[in-house]
Each structure stands twice: as C-alpha cells, then as structure tokens.
Amino acid sequence: MDLPICIEAAQLGDAPAIVKIARKAAPLQYENAGIPMAESQLEETLLSAWSLGVVKPILMHPKKHTLVAKDHHNHIPGFCTVSFEEACPFNLAMGNDKEWASIDALYVDPTAHRRGIRSSLLEAVELVAKQRGCLKIWLTVLEGNEAALNLYEKRRYVVVESTDFPPEFGIPNDYIMVKYSEAE
C-alpha cells in the first residue's frame, strides 16, 4: 500500500534523518547482492559515506540535489540524491556532457519498503534532471541486487555495462544502468 507522501527538496535540517536512513538501508544492498561484509568493515563503510560531515556538504553543493519523501507527520522515510557535475565516466557519454545526471543514492527506511516511496523519489528526481536539461541519467547497482535492478528496469533504465574488477581486488562489481529521456 502506498503511503501518502510528498516529495520535496532536502534542507540542511534534514541531514540527521538522511544519515539515519542511509545507515539503516545501505547495508541491504550488500545483503541483497550476496556480498558478505564483516561488521567492522560495514561500519567503516557506513561512517565514511554516511555521517553528518559527509551529508551536510552534499546538501549544500550547488551541483547536487537531494529530494526527501515526507509523510503526513513530517517524518522522512526516504531520500534520493542526484548529481549534475559529472558526465558518465564510462564509455557511454555521447553528446553534451551537460546532458548527463547521476543518481548517487536512493534509500528508503527498510520499515517503509514496498509502499511506492522509491518509485515516487525516482520519478521526482528524473523530473528535476529533465528540468535541468539532463536527458540521460546513469547510476550503478551492485551485481546481484535484484530488487534494485527490478526497480530501475521498471522505470526504463537499461544495463549498458558492468565493471569488471579482478577478484583479487576484493571489490564487488556494479552494473552501469542508463535511462535516456526524450526532449519535449
């Protein structure tokens, strides 16, 4: 059942909620992809990516845009961050680099899954990208994270490439997914 939510631009005061959601939801991507992580390794990964010291500069960055989902109690169950500063770093960039946006993060509190929040956030961030002139959006998904792959495929993202890290690097591979929008 979809929750009645509104999607709005994140404010600096939303940073603690964003950190909390990311630290709860981010581990699921590794679990879904079947990637075992020691608790200490997971904690180190989460601290380096999702602390107030990392999130606040993202929220203030002029070439990044974070949207939050809010319920009728003003509680934030999810967020999505898109970046407008990078062209696709893979061999996919065609045309003007300014036409590319990247989805850096899309997380929903695990207690609010299967309620349409991820789809609503994704739809809203795609609209923001289009309004900024970005007709192509790229993102990465851990290989094996079927839940995320299914979500993006439903929204017409396609796998165009995969990273190919040698096993000895100990780095999980990602699918690179792209969505091409048409200009109106």
- In tens digits, the chain (184 residues) has pLDDT values of 455 789 999 999 999 999 999 999 888 777 777 777 788 888 888 888 899 999 999 999 999 999 999 998 999 999 999 998 766 666 655 555 667 899 999 999 988 888 889 999 999 999 999 998 888 899 989 888 888 899 999 999 999 888 877 777 666 788 889 898 765 4
The distance of Cα 167 from the centroid of its chain, to the nearest Å, equals 25
Q: What pLDDT was estimated at residue 1?
A: 46
Question: Over the Cα atoms of the chain, what is R_g?
Answer: 16
The amino acid at 141: V
Q: What pLDDT was estimated at residue 87?
A: 67
Q: What pLDDT was estimated at residue 59?
A: 96
Q: What pLDDT was estimated at residue 184?
A: 47
Contact 141, 174 (CB under 8 A): yes
The amino acid at 83: S
Per DSSP (E only), the strands in the chain are 5-9, 64-71, 78-83, 100-108, 136-142, 158-162, 174-180
Residues 6+ apart with CB under 8 A from 119: 151, 154, 155
Round to whole Å and give the CA distance between 107 and 25.
6
Give me the residue label for tokens 């192509």. 136
Give me the residue label for tokens 């970005």. 134
Contact 82, 127 (CB under 8 A): no
Query: Using the 8-state DSSP alphabet, how is residue 30 labeled?
Result: H
Secondary structure of the chain: what % helix, strand, coil (to 5)?
Answer: 40, 25, 35
Beta bridge partners of 101: 137
